[in-house]
Homo-oligomer: A and B are copies of this chain.
Amino acid sequence: MKIAIAQLNYHIGNFEGNLQKMLKATAEAKGKGADLIIFGELATTGYPPRDFLEFRDFIRLAEESVDQLREASEGIGIVVGSPTINPFPEGKDLHNSVYLLYNGETLHVQHKTLLPTYDVFDEYRYFEPAKNHSTVLFKGKRIALTVCEDLWNVGNENPLYTVCPLDKMMPEEPDFIVNVSASPFDYNHAAERLEVLKANVDRYHIPMFYSNIYGAQTELIFDGGSIVLSPDGKVYDELPYFKEEIRYYQLDDVIKGGYDREQPKEKIALIHDALILGLQDYFGKLGLKKAILGLSGGIDSAVTAVMATRALGKENVRVVLMPSAYSSGHSVDDAKALAENLGIRYDIIPIASPFDAFNTLLTDVMEGKPFDVTEENIQARCRAIILMAISNKHGNILLNTTNKSEMAVGYGTMYGDLAGGLSVLADIYKTDIYHLAAYINKDEQVIPQNSITKPPSAELRPGQKDSDSLPEYDILDPILYMYIEKRLGPQEIIDMGFEEKLVRRILRLVNISEFKRHQTAPVLRVSPKAFGVGRRMPIVGKYLS
């Protein structure tokens, strides 16, 4: 039996686009003599469709896509994920299902049992879990069909669920496991995923064909990396990350095994490639082309400009240098040098004149109070007005350049430097931004060395440095990581050796900044715990604040 894994980039709600991709892949696979082609989870609708699932009209369109795939299944089995309607009045109205279509018929439908409802996932919001589990006979082979999370209750000591769907299917003695997935990237995830898949093969001793989607949907980046495992638990093949690909396998060869073709998984390289896909798909799926950002001469905007240029092309990225009265001369020079290295358009627009106009206008209402964060914010907001004006006039989408350390402690101005349609770096701590800059510069110096080595500063008052208000990033970042990624409380972090007063101050800063993060752009997710949909915190909460 020849089996194709089609690792495709779907688009939420783009039924026609998704269907055409699958029909094309099916035709190609038929041409190559494949018996079976495997697409992804909720491939008809794109993942995650979120509350579109509550529209009957949306479900009807998904069903029509399945109808068309069924028609295209003459001579080839098609495995595809799509929502189905729960026929019983009790329970949620939908199932998250996988179909096996063949010769114009539905051979089998298996519903998903384990519904991830944590971090960025909300599946129990929409779906009723499967109560029944069975395998399907296809061309003399018995297949155990599963959907993504259905594999994830195996091989850990504190499982999230009380059932293992494959345990229920094993009495039917399936020949191999098929899994359709929509498993989003973080820098640890490819390794974890492989471990879980291996734990399943260790438990069931049959081959596994794991078909993941790739492509970004706003903040979520799906990395592909589909996997074929032999019964010996070794990686028969792993599909590339961040790329569309269809590959073919002879079941007998997979059963024989003997290969171990795992890809390298280097954190910073993966993040680099993930950000490029995230940018490309945000623009591409919204039908946009052009980006704009403010270039300060610092490392964050420099890295953002590089990523945007690599993702969108130099002709589609423009930058604006907006020096304030407090900007150092070399900031402008460093920014210019970067723009010239990248070959992107830059304009220099100093913010003194609107800043002065606001100061004059506001003299009375400021009541003679001294220069403080108010005036810093006015400057940051003047920059946002300039960037948004160019964005509005010429159609360039503003990219936000905030990093995760700043975003965590609220070091940024709402409607100022926190503005933007997409936040490129806000899931990457400052210490990793340096690693990413070094990775960018590995072959040639794209980012001027000075942007990397000089002390970080917002340059909104004389001689300002980040370290005036924040601890050094090599102390700040580990504390943030323990609190945000690891969900440790203050005492646990203090017990690791950090100073109590500092820990309490930083955790408080994180919690009282929730109102700012509520209003920021979607953040490209590259870590196991990103700000945004995967981290849901009360604004009026009193805990640690």
A contact residues vs B (CB 8 Å cutoff): 11-14, 17, 46, 48-52, 54-58, 60-61, 89-93, 117-118, 122, 124-125, 157-162, 216-218, 281-282, 285-286, 320, 347, 349, 353-354, 356-358, 360-362, 364-367, 369, 372-374, 377-378, 381-382, 384-386, 388-390, 392-394, 414-415, 419, 421, 487-492, 515, 518-522, 533, 535-545
Contact = CB atoms under 8 A, between A and B. Distances in A.
A406 B309 CA distance: 35
A154 to B, nearest CB: 12
A354 B365 contact: no
A160 B384 CA distance: 46
B384 A361 contact: no
9 contacts: A17-B542, A50-B536, A52-B541, A54-B487, A61-B543, A91-B160, A367-B394, A377-B389, A385-B415
Contacts of A281: 540
A38 B521 CA distance: 42
B374 A361 contact: no
Given A365-B349, A540-B12, A542-B13, A91 B491 contact: no
Given A91-B160, A217-B540, 8 more contacts: A12-B541, A13-B538, A57-B489, A91-B162, A122-B125, A354-B358, A374-B393, A519-B520
Given A377-B392, A415-B415, A356 B358 contact: no
B159 A56 contact: no
B50 A285 contact: no
A124 B160 CA distance: 11
A58 B521 contact: no
Nearest to A542: B14
A388 B414 contact: yes
Contact of A492 (B57, B122, B421): B57
Nearest to A157: B89
Given A13-B543, A52-B538, A539-B522, A354 B361 contact: yes
Contacts of A364: 347
Given A12-B542, A159-B89, A386 B414 contact: no
Given A372-B393, A421-B515, A49 B541 contact: yes
Contacts of A522: 518, 539
Contacts of A490: 57
Contact of A353 (B218, B357, B414): B357
Nearest to A421: B515
Contact of A365 (B347, B360, B544, B545): B347
A90 B161 contact: yes
A516 to B, nearest CB: 10
A542 B518 CA distance: 24
CB-CB nearest 3 A-B residue pairs: A57-B489, A13-B543, A14-B542
A234 to B, nearest CB: 29
A43 to B, nearest CB: 14
A17 B542 CA distance: 10
Given A349-B362, A518-B522, A13 B541 contact: yes
A419 B384 CA distance: 13
Contacts of A14: 542-543
Contact of A369 (B124, B286, B393, B415): B393
